[in-house]
Amino acid sequence: MIRDSKQSYYITTPIYYVNGLPHVGSALTTLSCDVLARYQKMKGKHVVFLTGTDENATKVQQAAEKVGVPTMEFVDGLATAFQECWTDLHIEHTDFIRTTEQRHVQAVQEFFRLLVESGYVYKDTYEGWYSVSDETFFRDSEVKDGIAVESGKPVVRVQEENYFFKLSAFTQPLLDHIEANPSWLLPEFRKNEVVSFLKEGLRDMCITRTNKGWGIPVPGDESKVIYVWFDAVINYLAATGWHENPNWAEAWPPDVHFMGKEIFVRFHATLWPAMLMALGLPLPKQVYGHGWWTIGGQKGGKTGASLPHPTRLAKFIAERSGAEAPLAVDALRYLLCREMNFGPDTEFTVENLLRRFNTDLANDMGNLLNRTINMMVKFYEGIVPEVTTPDADIVALAGEVRAGYEQALSVFRLNEALEVAWRLVARMNKYIDEKAPWALSKAAKAGDAASAEALAQVLTACLEVSRIVAVLVAPYMPVASKAILAQLGYAHSDTAPLWEETAWKGLPAGTKVGPPQPLFPRIQELTVADDILFALGSANPEPTEKKENVSKVSDATTPIGTPVPPSPPVDPTADYIGIEDFAKVKLVVAEILAAEPVPNTTKLLRLTVQASEDDTRTILSGIAEYYTPEELVGRQIVLLANLQPRKMRGIESQGMLLAADVEGKAILLQPDKSVPIGSRVR
């Protein structure tokens, strides 16, 4: 009943935790899938593109509690914020699943029931470490000083009677599957990580938690809820209508599960395929793990090393460049896919994006189009001339580029596909310089027939390459692609172009081209001040007033760069610093997780502090004479987070806590009431 040569192409993003707004990290995964989905549509496939939200996690419940909003109301607001953001980014998913929906809950419970029946799920007592932040259990060997070594997140000791999944039974079957399917896990180096992980041997996994009023209850045992990861991965199957809709297998198995590296090894390359094996269901055909956007080498996220909100960033690009809003969104889509190394991590900066906007879009592509169309208007009044033979070298290069683009996307290297396409753009800009059409036109006007023929050949080659590039970029920049094709007078229906249209065919003689309309005006100001970066960030979902509906914070419409009112007169004798100087100082609220004296010193304490959800670091502080380690653990402090790290006593201190200096004694500064970790102090 399960067809392997299905006509449909099924692609999935991870489902996003609704404990904060989307940012360019979550957007990268969704956007990549959108590009791949559009590419498959171009190739004539019926595409099923699933995304959604992961709502049953303890950390989601905690985030709701922190802001005093009922959990369901909280998740509704954020699920809407994700959906709106994807619409703003021109994402064309075919389904959006929420794990609080009945179709998901029922599928999870059915899956669980079947595993109990098959003997792969059994009851036992679990004692061990659990990280709420990672929603993951850790072994003793994976925990040091109350911190999970892998993620740097705090863990708590739990002991409960629970249900277990016989994951240990799947070590060898998974290794066998990897060996028999060399391109199942990509990229290659991440596959090797999975193999090493499996070779350590899998242990059975505790897959339930005590029911604290949030999560999917274990069927027949309401005192427990199903472990959120066990529940979450089933979304991919639930969305097909598995166990309810007789046609569910039309989409199954997925062609690719696409995700960031942190959820690749344990969950998508191990747990999920083992769960499917346990029920005898076909495995996804490919699983791909991309790297992270990092800021200062650390994973960028919603707090701490904060990444911009995608919609705000697109608006900012529109404001800076003067591009129309939908084109600025397309530019952002291009820039994120082009800047990211689909493999290792990539350092994120807005300035890098702006720079690439200028080089790739305003200059390279913009120049090719504008020069081509302007010359067409000037030399041929915009009417495509007859040409007998196209330039064979350019035709050959276009063919190579087409193949290179296909090859890059077949292994999910979205940046490389663009890089390959831009080889053609660069070649044509050079070609125009070399062939000097203006000189050919002059000679042609003076009656030289060879020059007239050459001019037609050069300009039709430029037109054809522009058309091919516009089709190649359609999955990345659907709106811009249409706008370019329209300027080229290329007759196409309202639907996106098809892959066949990337082949060389030439615009028919007589086609009316133009008028030229620059789509991506050059950005003049490339530097981005810290306060703007801060305003672009994906803020925590804290409503300004308690109990305000969380969906209000999804509003990313506040204009960036709102004019600053005139400053009051300044006292020239005062020792002022400007607000831009203060904006350079990154102060955040952090929590002390652990404290211990530094051996052989009387003054220094070594503190482990959590500066954001994803940022745990070590700082050294000279407060040992005023505070004992026990007094400090659990306290909130104000941390200077962007102080240049420095080594003292062989230990690197990654920041500084703030204290009042009272006659030489340190008195710690802390917020008036408990606030979310990572909150900015300004």
In which order are the strands placed within the sheet that holds 121-131?
136-138, 121-131, 156-165, 205-206
**DSSP symbols for 573-599:** TS----HHHHHTS-EEEEEEEEEEEPT
Check whether the bond before 187 is cis (ω within 30° of 0). Answer: yes
β-bridge pairing 46-54 and 95-98: parallel
Kindly tell me which of 39 and 272 has the beta carbon lying closer to ligand MSP.
272
Torsion angles phi and psi, residue 71, rounded to 5: -55, -40
Q: Which of residues 283-312 bind ligand MSP (CB under 6 A)?
A: 292-293, 299-301, 307
Kindly tell me which of 292 and 476 has the beta carbon lying closer to ligand MSP.
292
Neighbours of 496 (CB within 10 A): 18
8 A C-beta contact, residue 342 and residue 53: no
User: Under rule CB under 6 A, how many of the chain's residues touch ligand MSP?
Assistant: 21
Crossing angle for the helix pair 366-380 and 414-435, to the nearest 10 degrees: 40
CB of 648 to ligand MSP, least distance (A): 30
Q: How remote is the C-alpha of 107 from its chain's centroid?
A: 27
**Contacting residue, 21, 29, 269, 379, with ligand MSP by CB under 6 A:** 29
By the rule CB under 6 A, 276 interacts with ligand MSP: no
**Contacting residue, 21, 97, 259, 590, with ligand MSP by CB under 6 A:** 259
**Contacting residue, 9, 17, 86, 164, with ligand MSP by CB under 6 A:** 17
By the rule CB under 6 A, 233 interacts with ligand MSP: yes
**Contacting residue, 108, 186, 232, 623, with ligand MSP by CB under 6 A:** 232
Tokens representing 5? 């040569």
8 A C-beta contact, residue 186 and residue 288: yes
CB of 466 to ligand MSP, least distance (A): 32
By the rule CB under 6 A, 25 interacts with ligand MSP: yes
**DSSP symbols for 407-437:** HHHHTT-HHHHHHHHHHHHHHHHHHHHHH-H
By the rule CB under 6 A, 516 interacts with ligand MSP: no
**Contacting residue, 9, 10, 11, 28, with ligand MSP by CB under 6 A:** 28
Alpha-carbon gap, residue 641 to 433, rounded angstroms = 50
CB of 301 to ligand MSP, least distance (A): 6
Contact segment (CB under 6 A) with ligand MSP among 160-168, 256-264, 412-420, 653-661 equals: 256-264
**Contacting residue, 15, 48, 115, 194, with ligand MSP by CB under 6 A:** 15
By the rule CB under 6 A, 16 interacts with ligand MSP: yes
Kindly tell me which of 287 and 323 has the beta carbon lying closer to ligand MSP.
287
Instruction: Provide the 3-class DSSP secondary structure of residue 198.
Output: helix
8 A C-beta contact, residue 59 and residue 133: yes
* Neighbouring-strand partners of residue 221: 218
CB of 239 to ligand MSP, least distance (A): 11
Torsion angles phi and psi, residue 83, rounded to 5: -60, -40
CB of 23 to ligand MSP, least distance (A): 7
**Contacting residue, 26, 40, 131, 372, with ligand MSP by CB under 6 A:** 26
Kindly tell me which of 16 and 86 has the beta carbon lying closer to ligand MSP.
16
Q: Which of residues 43-72 bind ligand MSP (CB under 6 A)?
A: 54
By the rule CB under 6 A, 14 interacts with ligand MSP: yes
* Residues of this chain that bind ligand MSP (CB under 6 A): 14-17, 25-26, 28-29, 54, 232-233, 235, 259-260, 263, 292-293, 299-301, 307
